[in-house]
Each structure stands twice: as C-alpha cells, then as structure tokens.
Amino acid sequence: MSAKISPLAGKPATEATPVDVAALLAAYHDLQPDPSVPEQRVVFGTSGHRGSSLVRSFNAWHVQSVVQAICEYRRKEGIDGPLFVGIDTHALSAPAFESTVEVLAANGIATYVSRGGEFTPTPAVSHAILVFNRGRDSGLADGIVITPSHNPPESGGIKYNPPHGGPADTDATSWIAQRANALIEDGLREVKRQPFAQAIKASTTTEYDFLDRYVSDLGDVLDLDIIRARGVRMGVDPLGGAGVHYWRAIAERYTLDLTVVSETVDTTFSFMSLDWDGRVRMDPSSSYAMQRLIGLKDTFQVAFACDTDHDRHGVVAPSTGLLPANHYLAAAAWYLFQNRPGWRPDAAVGKTAVSTGLLDRVAASLGRPLREVPVGFKYFVSGLYDGSLGFGCEESAGASFLSRDGSVWSTDKDGIVAALLAGEMTARLGRDPGEIYRGITAELGDPANARIDAPASHAQKATLSKLSPDRVDSKTLAGDPIVAVVNQAGGQPIGGIKVSSAEAWFAARPSGTEDIYKVYGESFRGADHLAQVLAEAQAMVDKALG
C-alpha cells in the first residue's frame, strides 16, 4: 500500500488514546443525523450500514429507521417467520441491540435473541437461519446482525440477512436504505417503538441458544475427529469478539487441544496492538494488529484469530508467522477440494476479482470450475446455498464452504470454520498451512501481490467505476501480451477495470470512503515484475481517466 505506516503500528493500543465509551454511548442517544448531509444518511455498503455516533453516522435514529424499514421490507416480500438477532462486542452494539428489539417488538415481529445475552458471531446467525428454514416453503426466517465487523472501537454497524442466510443483495439494501432515510427525513413519525424493558419481555421475543446450535453442528462441516486423534496443538485469539465464549465450548465439546489465548472483552479493545495507521482495528489479516498471536507462533502447531463478529479469519503458522490472506485462501481451496468427497464433482472454486490468481491455477489443477465475482460476499450466496460452489472467498480474509456432505453450512463469511480448517489441514497432512502453501507454489507458481492507492477526484472515481474496457488501449502489460480487459465478473460490474496477461493482472477500483482509487496487482514473475505491473497499471488508469 502507498499509505504511510504510522510509527505506532504494531505497538500496544495502550500507547494511543482510548475511545471515550461514555461519550460514544451518550452521542448514540443524544445526537440526531441531518439527512441533508450525505455522511449522516443511511448507506448500505458491502456489509450493511456503518458509522460512528460521534460524527452522527450511527445513532439511535439510524438503527430505528433501518429496523423499521426491514420490518416493512419483510411484509412487502411476504417474509413472516422469526427474525434472528446477533450482536458483537463493540460498545455501540449494545444500545443498537436495544433499539432493534424495541422496533421489532412494536411491529409484532417474532424475534429470537441470544440466550443469556451471549454475543453472537455473524456465521452463527447465518447458520441458525438456514437450520430453521430447512425443509420449509413458508414461514421463513431471516436475521439482523449488529456489527461494524473489524472496524475501530468507535464504530457501529447493522446488516440484514434475508431467508437465504447470507448478506442481502443490492435490491434489498437499496430499498431498505431509501426507506430508512425517508423515515429519518420525516422525523421518525412512522417508526414503531416500545420501551426496551417491555420489548425484551414481549411474547414475540424469545431466547435462542445460538452457541449450542452452532457448536453442536460443527462436525458437519469439519473433520474434528482427525484433529483430536492427531492431538494437534492449537491456539486461538478471539480478539475480544463475538465468538469469545464459543472457542472453549468447541474445545470441550470435541475434546480438542485448543488454548484460548484471552477471553477478555473490553469495549476500548485496549488489549490489541495498533494497526498500520496507528488506530485500533480488530483485523486478523493485519500483521500489525495480530502481534499478540504472532508472538506465540512457536507455542502452537497452528494458531488463528477472528475479527469482532467472527466472519473473518487470520492464521498463524510456525513456518511463516501470519499467513497473508491470499496465501491461506489458496491453501484452503487446494486442500478442501481434495478432501471433501461428498461435494458435487462440478462444485466450483469461488473468488472475488481482486483475490489471488493462484486460486485460478488451483482450480485448473484440480479440474474444478472457477467462479469469479465482484467484491462482496453476497455474490457467493446462491452457489453456497445450492451446492454449486464448494468454497467462496475474498482477499480481505473472508471465506465459507459447504458441509462435508455438500449441503449448505453458512451463506455468510465464517471465520470460525475457516480458522479451524487450519487445524484439520495440519492434522491430515502433517504440515502447517504455511508449509502447505509453499508446496503449492512450488508446483503452480509463486505470486507476488500488492495494492497501491492513488488520488482521485469524485468525478474521476465515478468515471473509473463505469470505465469501459475499450478505454484501455495498451496491448501489453509489463512486457507480456494482454489477454483480457474486463469491467465485469460473473455478469456483474466490478466497479472498475481488470487487465490480465498470462503471468500478471491488475484491477483498479475507486474507494467508497476516500478520494482515492485502489490498484490491486499480482505477478507470477516476482517482485520486480510486479512493480512494473503496478506502474503501468497506474499509467493506464490515469490515461483512461484523463
């Protein structure tokens, strides 16, 4: 990345000023968004609406309007089963949960909340929806997850999962966001609410044991017996997230040698090490944020961590330390498709357009189809649901895969099963995931990859997001003939452009939050060739935008 690395990167979070939780919570209730300010409106990104109460982008008004809009969307779509609600450990998640239950109860929605107030990982909500809906044609369930994922402690977030269990598609989120903003503009007059003390005890509000359901079913998706039989010594750092109490339950239920490094929950997340920009961020794919577990790499045969809602994973191996996300995803795909005989023989490998090209080579070497999609896990939902996609992943360390018999497990990212898979791989092959990755690259090629950021105006970003392939007139990329220039993947726009040769590729996309565009690049000819690819990529994009 071209972004400047902070001198605090990797240092204990205690060296930075912690978030003022009291101010954060007060702002949630006291501040109201101004719908005339774009940054204060409801906007659904790839994983729901996110923001912070301190800057009026995630306040009670946002949550109440979004949940009311979801209630109306359900009625419009004829969704009349229960709604499962999950919650992570961010400070703003607790009041957002209360707002959510207040609106759901007032709307008469049958609502399942976690037993005993237990935190709930995103994949546990997805799995619960799918289990409930199995064999049903009516009365289907859906869900809401209250989480801003791995974002900093001052962040809040809320996302909607329809009856297929995965992230809502653009049609659904656009309708919900538009209706939520209209409700805000109208002063919430049409939002139904009742006091939380009344709502949590309403006849429509029921406790559900997400933890027991999820943990009980884990043997359906992973070979936990071989991990136990081989005595693989594993470590996990929940990073103070929603799965903090799941890991001990997993270890006890399946008699695994699994050490939970810490079960601390602290809404300031002061136990973290600071990320690349000197901020607290619970990103298990960041070597800066993962310093605690990296320091323990020689203590375990394999170790792993998950982000705050446990939909992302990070794997630490003695041979390599923290594996880059692309490395582990390639190793996971290579392993899974050779050790899941219950999957359909035509089940595909799924990847986003900016994930490593090594996945393409893995799929080809195993005789499996490759399904490339735009950025966003929602594009994997249908394939995971019907079994035509065995494994779906994105370069930001999100993945999910089918149950061992080829049936659907989760249609949202599942950091828990992706992490535990590292233990299964180590047990079966006698090598850690870093060693497995090196074996793959010795056979299929060793890619170098990187991302750079470049300044772009609002107009340039808009142009890039709709750039036509014919605007790229170059015939070669870093000395090799260009074999493809595309602005779509799987029939959907990627919001930018991707240019490929036989040995390298780059993709350029505008940032959704900053005045920059991002260039992802990869080369199978090494770091020097990658540098040439990225330089030519930026020149091509600048010329096209000119």
451 touches 519 (CB < 8 A):
yes
Q: Contact at 8 Å (CB) between 167 and 161?
A: yes
pLDDT at 2 over 70: no
- The CA R_g of the chain, rounded to the nearest whole Å, is 23
Name the residue with higher pLDDT: 446 or 511. 446
pLDDT surpassing 90 at residue 513:
no
Q: For residue 256, which amino acid is it?
A: L
What is the rounded average pLDDT of the residues 120-137? 98
At which residue do the structure tokens 């594996």 appear? Answer: 323
pLDDT, tens digit, 9 for 90 and up, residues 150-161:
999 999 999 999
Task: Tell me the per-residue pLDDT of 248-266, one tens digit each, with 9 for 90 and over.
Answer: 999 999 999 999 999 999 9
pTM here is 0.96
Active site (annotated) includes residue 53: no
Contact 497, 487 (CB under 8 A): yes
Q: What is the DSSP letter of 388?
A: S
The tokens of 153 are what?
């402690």
DSSP alpha helix (H) spans, 405-468: 415-429, 433-444, 458-465
CA distance 166 to 413: 8
Per-residue pLDDT for 372 more than 80?
Answer: yes
Alpha-carbon gap, residue 466 to 497, rounded angstroms: 8
pLDDT in tens, 169-199: 999 999 999 999 999 999 999 999 999 999 9
Give the per-residue pLDDT at 3. Answer: 57
Nearest of 420, 416, 413, 363 to residue 393 by alpha carbon:
413
Q: What is the mean pLDDT of the chain?
A: 96
What is the band of 1 on the pLDDT scale with cuts at 50, 70, 90?
A: very low
User: Quick check: helix, strand or coil at residue 321?
Assistant: strand
Q: Is the pLDDT of residue 166 over 90?
A: yes
Question: Out of 52, 65, 149, 501, which one is annotated catalytic?
Answer: 149
On whether the CB atoms of residues 286 and 276 are closer than 8 A, the answer is yes
Partner residues linked to 130 by β-bridges: none
- pLDDT at residue 58 is higher than 50: yes
Confidence of residue 15 (pLDDT cuts 50, 70, 90): very high
Q: What is the mean pLDDT of residues 100-120?
A: 98
